[in-house]
Every structure is written in structure tokens, then in C-alpha cells.
Chain A
Amino acid sequence: METPLTEHIKENRPPLRLSDYEKVGGYRGMHKALKEMAPADIISLIKSSNLMGRGGAGFPTGLKWSLVPKDVPGGSLKYLIANADEMEPGTFKDRYLLEGNPHQLISGMIIAAYAIQARKAYIFIRWAYKKAEIIIRNAISEAYEAGYLGNNILGTGYNLDLYVHSSAGRYICGEETALINSLEGKRGLPRAKPPFPATSGLFGQPTVVNNVETLCWIPHIVENGAEWFTKLSITGEGGTKIYGVSGRVNKPGLWELPVGTTLREIIEKHAGGMKDGYRLKGVIPGGASTDFLTEAHMDTRMDFASVRTAGSRLGTGTMIILDDKTCPVAFIHNMIKFFALESCGWCTPCREGLPWVQKILESFEEGTAKTEDIGILEFQTQYMGPGNTFCAHAPGAMEPLQSGLKYFCDDFLKHIEEKHCPWRRL
């Protein structure tokens, strides 16, 4: 089984330096792209690979790049941004890639920037990833020294500068337009779309924002081709995915596996199954803003299409396990509290609705909820559903709530009937 993204990552040793990474094939894709391929060829290649964004939404990467105008009036400044803000609760995959192999990301960014003809690129990294930031900054210096960044890269006449911006908190800054505002030094409020960043993004210029894991794929696809990429997956969606599991399993962690690996294999084999004395009650498959799956979905193949069919989203591919000793209402309440706290406050349904939902869930835990409250919660999942808010934050928050109400309705009702949380000893 091939594991292109992680094969050179070894825990308990520092990441490969540039020269060592080159000895095992690093930067080969970049040489090929810049020397042998025109920007348009790279975009077609990525399109034909069908690579879908690993940041959560699964948007086709080649298509995103192709929306960037070729000729920009008034100078040709375009931007590429690596989204390394990773703040989705339960998600820890980009940290692994950043700390484990910074040159993979940098070489991917050079190719991506060249493909859209960006002259400047930024890595927007989460403040908490201090170790990753140091590693990335050192690797960038190495890349400048090697002549892979700066002016006239590999003698091609192509220039690229790569900068790091360390964030100052707020989950919403991971949303690409809020990220762009934050990078401009402003409050991290999302922007109206359209215009999409591809036409008007950072400082009003065409901009592509891609997730770290997405960008790490680029050198491998350039080097090995689209067909190779497709064949890596079980279900034809292409590639491998870094899947992760946290919660009460025997071996929490992350693993690079073919796209389409089943939920059962990931949890039972790789994560070692549930800890003694715990049973699996639900799974949040791809970070807090995805719908629950249950025992009944264990044979779901973890790719974008199959998880959608199962009623959820692949999201970030890092799962959180709800076990039978944890109260599902408390579990959902915790996530809603996060979303309420992290709401940027710009639009009313989210700013007012999330704290409202939070209070109702609190009343369930305190044993003061009434039967009508279930109806109010259901109404809120519609009210803050897709299309009713300014960005995808609140609809994301509603995903675990709406599916939680569906799968754990009895548990909600028990809180009302027994006037206390059945999971808490009185």
C-alpha cells in the first residue's frame, strides 16, 4: 500500500531537511512542473486527477485553479494561500503534515503558485502550532537558499515569495474569506460570495486558498500522474486520505489509507477498536461540523460520495467517537458551545441562534428542559440551515445537532422525563 503523504514522516525524529528530502525524491515534482510543464498543463493535470479539497468542503482543486483569470489587469499580482488554520474540533491532520514534512507542503505550494502564476504565497498557520511554525520557517529558509523560492526559480524567470502568518485565534478565520480578511490585518469576518477569491481575494487580487493536505498532494500528482492518483483509492475518487480517530478507542491516532477505506476498518483495525468497557454509540466522521454516523454505517466507505449517501460529510476525515458512557446531549452541547463562542457575530441567525440552542441544551443537562424544547431545537436546525446564514459556520454547527436529534431522540427525552442527565450520578 502506498502512502505518499506520510512515507517520509517518522515520529520521534525531526523532519527531513531539504537535501535529505531530495535524496528520497523530494522536489522532483517541482522540477518537472517548472521545467517541463506550462501552467495550463498543470491545471489540466490536477483537473483530470479529480483531486478534491481536503479542507472539509471537497471542492475540486483543478476547477478552483482554473477560475483564476489568466491575465490580470493592472499588474499581475495573484496570491496563493495555504490554509493551515486547523481549528475544527477533533481535527489534527494538518499539524502532522506541517510538523512531519514541511518541504512536501512547500514544494506543493511552489507548483500551485506557478500553475496560477501567483507571485506571492502565504501560509496562514494557527497560533497554537508553535512547533510547526518553527519547522516551516526553517524549511522556507532552506528553500530560499536552494533557489526554489525568490527570483528566477530554476532559471525559469518565475519569481515567488513565500511568507508565514501566524494567526491570533478564532475558528472562523479558517473560512477562506474570513482568512483573507484576517491576513489583511482586519477582523476575521467572512466576505460575501461572489466575488469568489479566485477573482477577487487577498488585497482585491485573484487568490487561491487551499488546505495543507490538498497542497501536499500536488508534487506527487505532478510526478506520478492522474491515473496513478486515481488508482491509489479504493472507490475511484482518487488518492489516500489522512484519517484520524479520537475518543475512547484503544489507539487514537491518524493513518494514511486509501480513499474509500471503510469506517469499520479505520475504527476497529487502525484505532484498535473501543476501549474495554465502552461501546460505540456514534461517530462524528469529519470534524465537529459533520452529521453523526452510527453503528449502522460502519461499512460506509469513507469517500466524499459514500459519506454523503450515508447522510453526513467526509469533512476533514478525522473522527470523534461518541461512546455509551458519554451523554450524547453533553457531547452535542460541547460542540454547540464551541460554535456559539466562535461565531463571528456578523449575521443574526448565527449570533443569536447558537447561544439560544446552547441554553436549551444546558437546560437538558440540568434537567429543566420541556418537551417543546425538542421542537425548538429542530426548528433551529432549519433556521440556521444552509442558505439562511452569511457563511457556512452555523449550518456546520447544525449538522451534529440535527443528526443527534434523529439518532439520540430517546436520550433527549430521557433527560426531560427523568429531570436530570441519566449519565450523571445524582
Chain B
Amino acid sequence: MLSTKEKEEIYEETRLYPYPAAACIDALKIVQHHRGWISDEAIEEIASELDMSVEDVDSVATFYTRIYRKPVGRNVILVCDSISCMVMGYESMYKHISDKLSVHFGETTPDGRFTLLPISCLGDCDHAPSLMINDDLHNNLTINSIDEILEKYQ
């Protein structure tokens, strides 16, 4: 069941559009914000809330890369692997993180602390290499700065 808070927030978004289904992406983001990811149940709950079919909601959910249809860790590390970050050496940053946490792209640490994912250009290319952890941008990365940054996320 959608919580009262989720319902309220979804309702606020539906007011910006002519019909409820138009707020589908916003609704997915709201539920993901509260639960960390989008389960099959969440898809069903959103579908009934927005008067959509389950298939329609799932087809939207699976199209968008920032909607997680599988559980993720408490913190999600998004390493930019696009062109400017490649030139500036994202690969060694990735390798460092991957070795340190013993996870590859697409994996979550056994303690559920981190999920490591690649991400397309973060629009921060003049400060490459860049990455995001949850909602925070970190840039001009060096091996040393990464260690400090990771410490902040438990």
C-alpha cells in the first residue's frame, strides 16, 4: 500500500498535468525516494493510484535508467564513464573504488552499504573525473580524495 506521504506527494505532482497518468515518472521517483527501489508491488500500487495498467507503468519504469527495479545499497555510487572523464582518467578511479569495495559495476557490497554503477556524462566535464554518490556531486577526483569521500557514506 502506498503510504499517506507517498500518496500526498504523488497527488501534488498529478496537479501539474491534465491527467494522473502523466505523473507516472514523478510517482515512480517519489516511491523510489521512500523505498530505495521499485518492486513489483510498487508498480501495482502506482498503477492503481494513477489509473494505469500495470504493464504501462512497468514499461515506463524499465525505460528510465534512474528507476531501480532491483534493490540497491544504502548509497549508490554513480561513476561517470563518458568521454571527458575517460580522457581525465575515470578508469583508474573506477578500479580503485572497485578494488577497495570488492564490487564491479552493477554490484552491491555484501553489507548493503554501496551499489556501484556507471553513469553517462554528469555535465561536470570541466571538473572531470566526476561521480555522484546519492544526490551529491564529487569532482576533480584523485585516488586520495575518493577514499575520504567514501568515508562520509556509511
The interface of chain A, by Cβ under 8 A from chain B, is 86-92, 94-95, 122, 126-131, 163, 165-171, 182-188, 203, 244-248, 252-254, 284, 288, 318, 320-323, 326, 330-331, 334-335, 338, 341-342
Does the CB pair A187–B59 fall under 8 Å?
A: yes
Give min CB distance, B7 to chain A, whole Å: 17
Q: Beyond A127-B66, A184-B22, A331-B86, is A246–B125 a contact (Cβ under 8 Å)?
A: yes
Q: Which residues of A are found within 8 Å of B22, using beta-carbon distances?
A: 183-185, 203
Whether A320 contacts B83 by the Cβ 8 Å rule is yes
B41 to nearest A CB, angstroms?
Answer: 19
The main secondary structure of chain A at its interface with chain B is: mixed
Could you pull out 22 A-B pairs where Cβ atoms are within 8 angstroms? Answer: A89-B83, A89-B125, A90-B121, A91-B121, A91-B125, A92-B123, A94-B123, A122-B16, A168-B25, A168-B29, A168-B65, A169-B67, A183-B22, A185-B22, A185-B25, A246-B128, A248-B88, A252-B127, A331-B86, A331-B87, A334-B83, A334-B86
**Cα distance A91–B128 when bound, in Å?**
12
Closest A residue to B24 using CB positions: A185
Q: Choose from B16, B119, B135 the contact partner of A163 (Cβ within 8 Å).
A: B16
Q: From known contacts A169-B65, A338-B82, infer whether A187 and B60 are also in contact, taking CB-CB under 8 Å.
A: yes
Q: How large is the interface on B (under 10, 10 to 19, 20 to 34, 35 or more residues)?
A: 35 or more
B residues sitting closer than 8 Å to A (CB atoms) are 16-18, 21-26, 28-29, 59-60, 63-67, 81-84, 86-88, 119-128, 132, 135-137
In the bound complex, do residue B66 and residue A185 qualify as a contact, i.e. CB atoms below 8 Å apart? Answer: no
Query: Is A182 in contact with B65, judged by CB distance below 8 angstroms?
Result: no
Instruction: Knowing A126-B123, A169-B65, A252-B125 are in contact, say whether A90-B29 is a contact too (CB < 8 A).
Output: no
CB within 8 Å: A-B pair count:
134
A313 smallest CB distance to B (angstroms): 16
Q: A87-B120, A248-B88 are in contact. Are A92 and B125 (CB under 8 A)?
A: yes
Q: In the bound complex, do residue B21 and residue A185 qualify as a contact, i.e. CB atoms below 8 Å apart?
A: yes
Q: A130-B136, A203-B22, A247-B84 are in contact. List 12 more A-B contacts (CB 8 A).
A: A91-B123, A95-B123, A165-B25, A167-B66, A171-B120, A185-B24, A244-B125, A248-B87, A252-B125, A252-B127, A318-B125, A338-B83
Contact across chains for A342 and B25 when beta carbons are under 8 A apart: no
Shortest distance between the CB of B45 and any CB in chain A (Å) = 16
Closest B residue to A86 using CB positions:
B123
Our pick among A89, A129, A185, A318 for the contact of B120 (Cβ within 8 Å) is A89
Residues on B with beta carbons closer than 8 Å to the beta carbon of A87: 120-121, 123
The 5 closest A-B pairs by CB, nearest first: A169-B65, A185-B24, A168-B64, A246-B125, A169-B66
- Once A187-B59, A321-B87, A338-B83 are accepted as A-B contacts, the answer to whether A92 and B25 lie under 8 Å apart by CB is no
A360 to B98, CA, bound (A): 27
Q: Which of A95, A183, A321 contacts B124 (CB 8 A)?
A: A95
- Chain A: minimal CB distance from B104 (Å): 17
**Which residue on chain B has the smallest CB distance to residue A165?**
B26
Q: Which residues of A contact B136 (CB under 8 A)?
A: 130
Q: Nearest CB to that of A400 among chain B residues?
A: B83
**How many angstroms between the C-alpha atoms of A183 and B123 in the bound complex?**
21
Question: Is the beta-carbon distance between B66 and A168 smaller than 8 angstroms?
Answer: yes
Judge whether A168 and B28 touch: CB under 8 Å. Answer: yes
**How far apart sit A169 and B29, CA to CA, in the bound complex (Å)?**
11
Interface centre among A131, A186, A188, A248, by most chain B C-beta atoms within 10 angstroms, is: A186
For the complex formed, measure the closest distance between the CB of A422 and the CB atoms of chain B, giving whole angstroms: 17
Contact status B18-A203, CB under 8 Å? yes
CA separation between A424 and B126, bound complex, in Å?
A: 25
